[in-house]
Amino acid sequence: MKAGIDSIAFDIPQLYLPITTLAENRNIEADKLIKGLGLHKMSFPDVHQDVVTMASNAALKLIQQENLNPAEINRIYVGTESGVDSSKPVGSYVLSNLEMIFGEASFRNCDVVDLTFACIGAIDALQNCVDYIQLNPTKKAIVIASDNAKYDLNSTGEYTQGAGSIAMLITSNPRILSFSNEVGVSTQGVFDFFKPRRYFTKEEALQLENNPEWNGILENEISIYKEQPVFDGQYSNQCYINRITEAYEHYKSESKQTGKAYENWANILMHLPYCFQGRRTFIEIFAKENPELLEAQIGETSKDKLKALAKSPEYLALVNEKILPSEIASGQVGNIYTGSIFLGLLSTLCYHFQQKSDLTNAKFGFVAYGSGSKSKVFEAEVVSEWQKQIAKATLFETLENCTAIDFTTYEKLHKKELKQAVISPKNEFYLDSIEKENPMLVGARYYKFA
């Protein structure tokens, strides 16, 4: 029995910072970011937006698009690494927000949970729900990938920022993609990218002696959580390469393939922390599958030969045919962590819809990665009704109509210095307030729909 993605919707912030603007203000040569990394725009949340609003908006669009009855939806599983609470999941906020539209208790029998493993959490949510549907073919589930990829100002990750949410309806006999059972996995616990709690004594942080009570904190230590990660770019890139190559080999073993598995894939979907990351790293798999081509390259060292192979006609043909369609939206949005691989999927499908490609029965290869670190490699088959479903998505048109912001506005949004939204919310969920007074509710986040 087939199970997979029946429909898909998205929510992307209306605001973006042009990469040329960032480059100019950071004294970076623009072509290094545009031609070197494939970056053009960087989506950024407005004052009233966060991972909850984006997830809720994407889910609402999906439900309305497919005219679903809330009683039909048995699961809402969220993949995110941008949770707004250490206990209460984003999924519970989404459920509450949806009940504003569909009525109190309309999702009372719906199971919700967040799955977190850096950028691969939504893949874990997807596979969990696909397994559930295979066991319960009359049920329906929604998987949401929602994240805000925020980095420190002036950091080496700043130009890869982005935000957005992708929501997918998972059913039996899906109309877009059905997934194979074989999955290759590679996992190793590392510190290539993480978001730790940071501890300070009250004396260090606040110049308070003798440990007085402060804002209800009796402990001598204060824990601070930052949205921005601690990361080592070069090390993380190597971890990415190690995991995807190992997971790819494991996938071949699990699916009992001895040939070049990627040759079976019409398109390759990868986690894209920046637009060209996929093409820059898949060369490692390509080289291992084509040792004779690698050896034929000019170069004194294996590294030189690998660089030459990456520019070879054979590899560039693979990139243009199998990887490039997934990069189109990424260059216009930026990194959205758990949603990046699914943004690439939607970009690929929208591209082929515009090109009037015949994808029915074509195979897609998924090469997912999450820091910390884990990779999963698996396959999906395009279903005959994919064009009818993707016709409902207006991804490229939506991205064209986003609004550019200037650098001053960007920095104020980043520092959370703006009090008023740049664009007032319309036909969307928005963050209305965060409780600060009531000690029994301090920190509670309240949302509305406008």
- Mean pLDDT split into 10-residue runs, the chain, 450 residues: 96 98 98 98 98 98 98 98 96 98 98 98 98 98 98 97 98 98 98 93 82 83 89 96 98 96 98 98 98 95 95 98 98 98 98 97 98 98 97 97 98 96 98 95 97
User: Among 39, 48, 41, 17, which Cα is nearest to 408's?
Assistant: 17
**Phi/psi at 78 (5° precision):** -115, 130
Strand 41-43 with 15-18, pairing: antiparallel
Q: Are residues 218 and 307 in the same domain?
A: no
Q: What total of structural domains would you count in the chain? A: 2
Domain boundary among 208, 229, 250: 229
- pLDDT at position 301, please? 94
Q: Are residues 212 and 258 in the same domain?
A: no
Domain CATH code at residue 260: 3.40.47.10
Q: Are residues 383 and 443 in the same domain?
A: yes
With beta carbons less than 8 A apart as the criterion, state whether 191 and 231 touch. Answer: no
Domain boundary among 173, 204, 229: 229
Q: Are residues 286 and 199 in the same domain?
A: no
pLDDT digits (tens, 9 = 90+) for 122-131: 999 999 999 9
Q: Are residues 440 and 326 in the same domain?
A: yes
Q: Are residues 207 and 253 in the same domain?
A: no
pTM, rounded to two decimals: 0.96
Domain boundary among 229, 256, 290: 229
User: Which residues sit opposite 187 in a β-bridge?
Assistant: 374
**Phi/psi at 420 (5° precision):** -110, 145
Q: Are residues 179 and 199 in the same domain?
A: no
Give me the domain span that covers residue 207.
Answer: 194-229
Q: Are residues 263 and 213 in the same domain?
A: no
Q: Are residues 214 and 124 in the same domain?
A: no
Q: Are residues 176 and 211 in the same domain?
A: no
Q: Are residues 346 and 404 in the same domain?
A: yes
- pLDDT at position 220, please? 84
With beta carbons less than 8 A apart as the criterion, state whether 128 and 116 touch. Answer: no
Q: Are residues 171 and 218 in the same domain?
A: no
